[in-house]
Amino acid sequence: MPHRTFRVSTDRHLETCDIKEVGHGEGPYWLVLEQRETKKVHELLESLGLPALAIEACLEPTYSVNLQAYEHSLFIGFPVSLAWNSERRSHLRLVCLPGIIITIQEKPLPTLEHMISQYQESLRFHATGNSSILYQILDHLIDDDMAQTLRTRGQLDRIEGLIDEEDFDELSPQLVLLKRRLMRLSATLEDQLYCFSALQTIESESLSVEGLYDYFRDAISHLEHASRSISRQLSRLNAIQQELQLKMQDKTNDQLKLLTMISTIFLPLTLITGIYGMNFRHMPELHWDLGYYGVLVAMGGIAGAMLWSFHRRGWFE
């Protein structure tokens, strides 16, 4: 079972330690687990005194936003976006025990890996409690959401700049894909906002948010700002889709107008060829030596007159 164990040192840095120290030495501790071998994860959580219901929530295969206190523990199912262009949503499972934070993930999250390296090298926690670790984990995930929001806005700006170009047929699939990403990110932000709001009122022996209210309010403010930004982007995207649809309709109308003009020009010419294609015995023009050339000149004159008339009306603009 892939796992790593960290401890907050006296100078408030993260340092690697052995999992056997958890619960016996000075903490708080942070256990990072990957949910590959369910049986071993179950045994480890059970050895730490986690209640059966909390273990069941940790190993549940389906994803759901959840915040539940179990005896001396607190379980949090926190939604995360794997990447700004990812087609999947995932959930980070967090368990708070007295002096211990456990995170369970499907595979390593780049955001948490970056956080671990930062707090091992330079950054310090503002306090040594496990609530400080929990807040920093959630805050880094929210910062990642903010970065994804900026990327989607940049992608939308780029598409908006291309809509005035001639070749905009490929923009429609990009807009559909971007809309799906925005909707997924919006749902993730809403779920995260629910988790943060609930954490401020939760009562649990394993977690105390006293002294963190300002930090939580700051995180909630960021989430609300990101959510508003996504809403504005969705409105812009809908407007761009409507504009693109109008441009595509104009392009189709231009093509139809051209086909209509071509059909209109050939209509009298077809009539003439149809008349002289009839097999009547007495057709005087058939015995005229210059009849063939005369008909061609007449047909060319008719076509030219119609083209000139269309040009005067501005139909070629």
Instruction: Report the SS3 class of residue 208.
Output: coil
Residue 234's pLDDT is: 92
CA 296 to chain centre: 63
Say if residue 56's pLDDT is above 90: no
Q: What would the mean pLDDT of 253-274 be, rounded to a whole number? A: 85
Indicate whether 276 and 212 sit together in one domain.
no
Say if residue 232's pLDDT is above 90: yes
Strand runs labelled E in the chain? 3-8, 14-16, 29-34, 66-70, 73-81, 89-97, 100-105
Q: What would the mean pLDDT of 118-144 be, rounded to a whole number? A: 86
Q: What would the mean pLDDT of 82-88 be, rounded to a whole number? A: 63
Q: What is the CATH number of the domain that holds 290?
A: 1.20.58.340
**Rounded Cα distance, 181 and 187, in Å:** 10
What is the total count of domains within the chain?
Answer: 2
Residue 231's pLDDT is: 92
Residue 292's pLDDT is: 82
Contact present, 33 and 104 (Cβ < 8 Å)? yes
Residues of the domain holding 261: 252-312
Indicate whether 300 and 176 sit together in one domain.
no
- Judge whether 32 lies within some domain: yes
Indicate whether 71 and 220 sit together in one domain.
yes
Indicate whether 7 and 94 sit together in one domain.
yes
Residue 209's pLDDT is: 67
Indicate whether 232 and 265 sit together in one domain.
no
Indicate whether 88 and 31 sit together in one domain.
yes
Indicate whether 41 and 147 sit together in one domain.
yes
Indicate whether 241 and 272 sit together in one domain.
no
Residue 211's pLDDT is: 67
Indicate whether 140 and 261 sit together in one domain.
no
**Rounded Cα distance, 105 and 68, in Å:** 18
Q: Which of 195, 216, 247 is the last residue of a domain?
A: 247
Q: What would the mean pLDDT of 90-114 be, rounded to a whole number? A: 85
The per-residue b/e assignment along 21-41, b for 16 or more CB within 10 angstroms, e otherwise, is: ebeeeebbbbbbbbbeeeeeb
- Judge whether 95 lies within some domain: yes
Q: Which of 247, 268, 299 is the last residue of a domain?
A: 247
Q: Give the other-Cβ count within 10 Å of 214's Cβ.
A: 8
Q: What is the CATH number of the domain that holds 228?
A: 3.30.460.20
Q: Which of 197, 215, 247 is the last residue of a domain?
A: 247
Mean residue pLDDT of the chain comes to: 82
- Judge whether 286 lies within some domain: yes
- Judge whether 317 lies within some domain: no
Indicate whether 76 and 181 sit together in one domain.
yes
Indicate whether 142 and 266 sit together in one domain.
no
Indicate whether 192 and 302 sit together in one domain.
no
- Judge whether 81 lies within some domain: yes
pTM for the model: 0.75
